[in-house]
Structure 1
Amino acid sequence: MEIYRHACPRNCFSTCGMLSYIEDGKLVKVSGDAKHGYNQGRLCAKGYAYTQYVYNPYRLKHPIRQTPRGSGNWKRITWEEAYDCIADKILELNERYGSNLASGYNKFSGNIGLLHYAVEGMFNSIGPHTKPVGNPCLITGEQAMRKSFGQMNRMMPEKMAEMNAIVIWGANPAVTNVHQMKFILQARQKGAKLIVIDPIFTRTAATADIFIQINPGTDRWLALGVAKLLIESNMYDEEFVRNQTVNWEEFHQYVTEQVDLHEVCRETGISLDVLCELLSIYSMPKPCATWIGFGIQRNENGGQNISAINTLAMLGCQSGQENRCVYYSHSGIDDFPVNLLNHEGPVHPIVQHSREIDINNFAENASKLVEPPLKFLWIALRNPLSQDQDFQAWESLMKELELIVTVDLFMTKTAEMSDLVLPAASHFEEMDVNVSYWHHWLSINEKAISPYYEAKSDLQIARELMEKLNERFPGFSNFPSEREPIDWIREELTPSVKKLYSIESIDDLLESPRLRGEEGKNLSSSAFKFRLFSEENTDTSTYSMNREKTDVEESYPFQLLTPQSLLKIHSQYEAMPWLNQGAEQAVVELSEYAAEKRGILEGDKVELFNPNGKIAAIARISRFLPQKVILVNQAGKNPINRLIAHKPQENPGKSSMNFYDSSVNIRKWCETNG
């Protein structure tokens, strides 16, 4: 039996090191890599189910074409035919419009390996085109962190085990980051307190010493209220705020004059006694960790929420900066040249730059493009008809496009609406290198088995398609098709990267994952200047949950929260029998209050609806849910995101998707409900 080293490439905190066991060329087992210091030889349920993922009967085997689009009339074609079709369209659009702006892609994080930037590299290699910018998941928080700290923190998550208190603010690691729970448990075994702040009584909250159930979207109020108590009690580090912050006087005046504790309690739904309990945590002279979850910033005021929490965390812990530990995410990829992403294409004589579209409003904005309109769209590493929002805009855009190509392992809802679907390789069938946005380990991903039927990696597709284009039109693309995956990986391992990870060559990574050096030192720099919460660009002083309700809020009075589930990531893993043994019908959780108001009983079939659409689900009544919150997990055959619409932002690409700003109504299911 042969054993190979891998990194789980899903968009997940853990980016786990794993081992594959190969017998007669087949994957027979996977396990955690004991040499990986974060997951330490363990995997989550999704990781252990990878044998079913690779050899799943629903996995795509060959390139297929659908005529007409959306008909379900699929025909198997060869890769050569697929490449011919795509090349024909790209070249025809180039001739029609005089550039490649009518060709574009929509790609995100279905596989976060560095070589999957081959999609961007491929399009860069043909010159200016149409591309998405931004990040639907965490960029609002990243912007807020950079504004507070000047850069992204690099705190090691393993060091959470050394804390005397851990405040988890809007995160649910027991579901979305299971390996972090062991470090939290280690801290608690040494006497640390665990405090969870969340609108939902999560699995993590169930393990906490203190659970604080906050009204959704009011986190900044709570943080500013406790900060006011710190200042009034003189429990903050005065030397720190005067010497290492840039706006202390402004913040002090704002909190003193504008933050009213009675208003804080009314807005958050939290009593003054609980605020005082948090005060005792943040005034401890010992290390305290604050973990800010991504859900905190998935609303219109997300940046202010995170800025306020950062401020509270930095004001507390009087014993020094090294004890002010704020966790969100980090930009480990910034250490690397990411050559595929940054590949420079040919210069166009007239069009100087590619055309950029905010990924959070991609479909709506793409439909408005003129001179030229977008006509060809390549979709890879995502399933927008499950994980995006405003499906009506996507459906409208798809009617306008002349060719849609989707690359995936399974027939997703997006693939169903495409012209061509190309089968993608799994990470066991390709070579890659991976870093995490949470921990600090660098991992190699070896190719362990031959591709499933005719599946190919994004890099292999890019190499072959660009070679086809150049056969048709010499010099059309400058993509270096001759380079193998190992060549790209070696180029990522620059001298600075090797020094940072204490490696001499790729062979060291084949022996074991490596930990990044110099971690977590940015906050102790003498040049560090922290920016406290600012009233600028925030409506904190005027917003009130008790304001007069609008007509829309009266018609759709419940706030919709849509967190990730334990056994799926959006639509990924839906075809795994080990992970899908329950009923296929979606489940909606509602409060006892909502159930009584609508006459709904446990197990009733119900319908959620708003102007964006409607979905059917089975009701589950929760005594722990806030009165006007409705919860539906991501994933499912009828995606909950159908009910979500994202408001356009002033600065495209600079904010996350506002998944948690949606309101809905609920009623018992009736065949005549529209």
Structure 2
Amino acid sequence: MHQVCPHDCYDTCGLDVKRVNGRIMRITGAKDHPITQGFACLKVNRYLERLNHQDRVLFPLKRTGPKGSGNFQRASWDEALDAIGTKMQHIVQTYGGEAILPYSFSGNMGVLSEASMDRRFFNALGASQLARTICTASADMALRWVYGQRLGPDPETIGRAALILLWGSNPVVTNVHEIPLLDQAQSQGADIYVVDPLYTDTAARYGHHIDLNPGSDVALALGLGRYLVATGQYDKSFVAQYAQGFDAYLERAWPWTLDETARVTGVPVATIERLGERLASVHPLLLRTGYGVQRQEHAGEAVWAISALSVITGSYRDVGGGHLLGNGDAFPLNWDRLTRPELRPGNPRTINMVQLGDALTQLDDPPVKALIVYNSNPAATAPDQGRVLAGLRREDLFTVVHEQMLTDTAQYADWILPAAMAFETLDLHTSYWHRYIQLSPQAVLPAGEAVSNTEFFRRLARACGFKDAPWCQDSDEDLIRQALDTQHPWLHGITWESLQKRPVQKVNLKVSDRPFLDTKDHNGPLFRLYPLPVLPFTPPQTPAEYPLVLITPSRKNTIKSSFGNNPRLLIREPNPTIYAHQEDIEHLGLQDGQRVRVESPTGHVILQLRGSKQARPGVVLSYAVRWNQDGGGVNINQLTSQTLSDFGGGATFYSTRVRIIPWENEVE
């Protein structure tokens, strides 16, 4: 039967699941899915190990030891809900609803699992709102600034491109179903350039590597733009017809001469000139940006500057051209019906998830007295981990975790409630890359006493006094019907009934529809080139105390902390590791393979040092993120900070500065 991979990944794969006597026996990529095309990634190929993992939470658990000790005893759902409901109602009566903070992200990207009954519950409770900015916020806001919405070319047109710029994108690792499309383009003569401070697997595959200094993406994009305009190679008629703010863009770009761009980026002048000439002369031109570009302090400006390149080159004239970062807005679901924002009493405060550490240790009036975690593992994934763990250790913080596994965060919970896995629930799935909407029916019953996210929040609502509230009575089928209750033409004809017959359906956008030119009714400018309302980019300084830039990219074998407790998927890196260029290893007087202490202004961590050709001098990388148990109770996020990006309040993981010193087995 058809199922959908629920994890935070571009591909949103369709899966074929074989069941025998109510148990899942085999999981493979769906052959009839136009993107998945019959193959799945390394992780999903071993998904049965996750379904049957020894760490699965199967029953409600009550803490019996100190927070973080992992000591729990089994309890009943009635006992758990009675205790949780009593405690949360007391907190609301004593401190107000804002003293309760939800914390979730995209551990399960099903529409219902990620944002439906949970949002209704917290809205009705008057809880603090969570700004879910840790991954894509800066890019999302920059895209909407330039284009008005998060829409890019259809990935199925990638094969038509003649020049592809993969900017901060490593699809060999993070978007495996894009590789056949890129290979198709290359086989038909396309050149593929990879812009990245790391020599990634993708750079090795396609050959053209633009090796720039970390954090200098703004300079390269503006330098290319200035070069195109100064040499008269930009698309004048396209800009005149479709863009506004061109003069303001030029004012921001003009200081970036070839020499200054080369000085800041480390990319030779000749390479910048050659790339600029290619951008002007080769079409269809596809700029394929990854989310890694916006995990830095100048995140929004970087995405804005790259987006502007797509406009001044006229890349949208051609099918297969344009700027592809995401297609999240290709699915105009009825989010208000799903989440019910009108249930909020007043205007509760908003807390940025990137600054969870400060929220748990410093926030007052009121303090956070209850934390409800689901679809996330902040003890491992949130920045400034030392402060996050200090907050989670607070005895006066009431923490409830709805989870599938005994994660790092679950170890700090007062109550752990068992969460069902995606194949054990009914859900609807969209994608932030391709344009297919999918229904994933329940394949098997949940293991143990696990329940879906929606059922968890129905039960929690009743426990907190909302027993008769109409908003918590809707079934999962009701929620899907409500999500699809829209008059938007892109979803016309896609209904609960139609998805029963065809669980994979494409939104009503033609493959040949060029974004914005063919998808909008327009009488005026389509693109906004005005600079973002942020201070202009200035090159990052290299503090003498912390001379190395740390980049923490995704690895092929896990999705952040998901799958982090499967040792077979970590067999190539059994110990937490930091990779450096051999030149830096020798300069520091260190040895390949030795244990080192890596320090930043926020903390330190002990890692194994390895030489790597992926890292350039001055740059080190450590794949994100290990479970804390692998590193003596901590991981690489001891080093990252709560600093927010320039636009959208996003995380700045890739702006981390560190130093590496020998570790002499001192007492930690």
- Specify if TM > 0.5: yes
The Cα of 1:369 is off from its aligned counterpart by 3.6
* 1:49 aligned counterpart, secondary structure: helix
Aligned to 2:161: 163
The alignment of Structure 1 onto Structure 2 pairs a total of residues equal to: 653
* Alpha carbons of structure 1 residues 189 and 341: separation in structure 2 relative to 1, 3 Å: same
From 473, 477, 497, the equivalent of 1:506 is: 497
Aligned to 2:544: 554
Aligned to 1:20: 17
* 1:95 aligned counterpart, secondary structure: helix
From 564, 568, 573, the equivalent of 2:558 is: 568
Whole-angstrom distance in 1 between the partners of 2:190 and 2:439: 35
**Structure 1, 523-532 or 158-167: larger mean CA deviation:** 523-532
What is the TM-score of this pair, normalised by structure 1? Answer: 0.92
Q: 2:239–2:314: 8 Å Cα contact kept in structure 1?
A: no
* Alpha carbons of structure 1 residues 286 and 378: separation in structure 2 relative to 1, 3 Å: same
From 379, 397, 403, the equivalent of 2:391 is: 397
Q: 2:169–2:291: 8 Å Cα contact kept in structure 1?
A: yes
* 1:96 aligned counterpart, secondary structure: helix
1:515 aligns with 2:510: no
* Alpha carbons of structure 1 residues 268 and 125: separation in structure 2 relative to 1, 3 Å: closer
From 468, 473, 481, the equivalent of 1:482 is: 473
From 191, 198, 201, the equivalent of 1:200 is: 198
From 444, 448, 454, the equivalent of 1:459 is: 454
Q: 1:127–1:345: 8 Å Cα contact kept in structure 2?
A: no
The Cα of 1:583 is off from its aligned counterpart by 4.7
Q: 2:244–2:525: 8 Å Cα contact kept in structure 1?
A: no
Q: 1:466–1:479: 8 Å Cα contact kept in structure 2?
A: no
From 359, 366, 385, the equivalent of 1:365 is: 359
- 5+ residue gaps, structure 2, are none
Name the aligned partner's letter for residue 643 of structure 1: L
Aligned Cα RMSD in Å? 2.3
* Alpha carbons of structure 1 residues 64 and 498: separation in structure 2 relative to 1, 3 Å: farther
Aligned to 1:327: 324
Aligned to 1:128: 126
1:141 aligns with 2:131: no
* 2:59 aligned counterpart, secondary structure: coil
| CA displacement 1:73-121 (0-9 Å, x = unmatched) | 2111111111011011012223323x32222211111101111124533
**Structure 1, 123-132 or 267-276: larger mean CA deviation:** 123-132
Name the aligned partner's letter for residue 49 of structure 1: R
**Structure 1, 503-512 or 557-566: larger mean CA deviation:** 503-512
The Cα of 1:356 is off from its aligned counterpart by 1.4
Q: 2:605–2:636: 8 Å Cα contact kept in structure 1?
A: yes
Q: 2:301–2:646: 8 Å Cα contact kept in structure 1?
A: no
Aligned to 2:149: 151
Aligned to 1:448: 443
1:63 aligns with 2:54: no
* Alpha carbons of structure 1 residues 570 and 247: separation in structure 2 relative to 1, 3 Å: same
Name the aligned partner's letter for residue 514 of structure 1: Q
The Cα of 1:595 is off from its aligned counterpart by 0.3
Aligned to 2:378: 384
Aligned to 1:616: 606
Q: 1:608–1:664: 8 Å Cα contact kept in structure 2?
A: yes
From 475, 479, 487, the equivalent of 1:496 is: 487
| CA displacement 1:230-253 (0-9 Å, x = unmatched) | 123221111122232212233345
1:662 aligns with 2:653: no
| CA displacement 1:182-234 (0-9 Å, x = unmatched) | 10011111111111010000000001141111111111211222222212322
Residues 47-446 of structure 1: matches in 2 within 5 Å? 47-67=44-64, 68-97=66-95, 99-116=96-113, 117-118=115-116, 120-124=118-122, 126-256=124-254, 258-317=255-314, 320=317, 324-332=321-329, 335-338=332-335, 341-344=338-341, 348=345, 352-398=346-392, 399=394, 401-446=396-441
* Alpha carbons of structure 1 residues 185 and 629: separation in structure 2 relative to 1, 3 Å: same
Name the aligned partner's letter for residue 215 of structure 2: G
Whole-angstrom distance in 2 between the partners of 1:347 and 1:40: 43
* Alpha carbons of structure 1 residues 87 and 188: separation in structure 2 relative to 1, 3 Å: same
Aligned to 1:634: 624
- 5+ residue gaps, structure 1, are none
* 2:459 aligned counterpart, secondary structure: helix
* 2:281 aligned counterpart, secondary structure: coil
**Structure 1, 376-385 or 389-398: larger mean CA deviation:** 389-398
Whole-angstrom distance in 1 between the partners of 2:159 and 2:609: 39
Whole-angstrom distance in 2 between the partners of 1:565 and 1:278: 29
Name the aligned partner's letter for residue 597 of structure 1: H
| CA displacement 1:296-336 (0-9 Å, x = unmatched) | 11111111111111122222257936564101113247511
Q: 2:534–2:646: 8 Å Cα contact kept in structure 1?
A: no
* 2:366 aligned counterpart, secondary structure: coil
* Alpha carbons of structure 1 residues 213 and 509: separation in structure 2 relative to 1, 3 Å: farther
Whole-angstrom distance in 2 between the partners of 1:220 and 1:446: 44
| CA displacement 1:320-353 (0-9 Å, x = unmatched) | 36564101113247511135752256565xxx12
From 586, 591, 596, the equivalent of 1:601 is: 591
| CA displacement 1:617-646 (0-9 Å, x = unmatched) | 221112452211010000223321111012
* 2:107 aligned counterpart, secondary structure: coil
* Alpha carbons of structure 1 residues 335 and 251: separation in structure 2 relative to 1, 3 Å: closer
**Structure 1, 511-520 or 246-255: larger mean CA deviation:** 246-255
Whole-angstrom distance in 1 between the partners of 2:171 and 2:252: 34
Residues 644-663 of structure 1: matches in 2 within 5 Å? 644-648=640-644, 654-663=648-657
Name the aligned partner's letter for residue 216 of structure 1: P
**Structure 1, 617-626 or 268-277: larger mean CA deviation:** 617-626
From 26, 29, 48, the equivalent of 1:29 is: 26
* Alpha carbons of structure 1 residues 313 and 673: separation in structure 2 relative to 1, 3 Å: farther
| CA displacement 1:115-145 (0-9 Å, x = unmatched) | 1124533523633112311321011111111
* 1:615 aligned counterpart, secondary structure: strand
**Structure 1, 140-149 or 312-321: larger mean CA deviation:** 312-321
Name the aligned partner's letter for residue 426 of structure 1: M
The Cα of 1:662 is off from its aligned counterpart by 0.9
Whole-angstrom distance in 2 between the partners of 1:650 and 1:211: 27
* 1:335 aligned counterpart, secondary structure: coil
Whole-angstrom distance in 1 between the partners of 2:646 and 2:167: 27
Name the aligned partner's letter for residue 307 of structure 2: N
Name the aligned partner's letter for residue 286 of structure 2: A
Whole-angstrom distance in 2 between the partners of 1:323 and 1:239: 20
| CA displacement 1:590-633 (0-9 Å, x = unmatched) | 11221012222221122211232222222111245221101000
Q: 2:484–2:491: 8 Å Cα contact kept in structure 1?
A: no
**Structure 1, 448-457 or 230-239: larger mean CA deviation:** 230-239
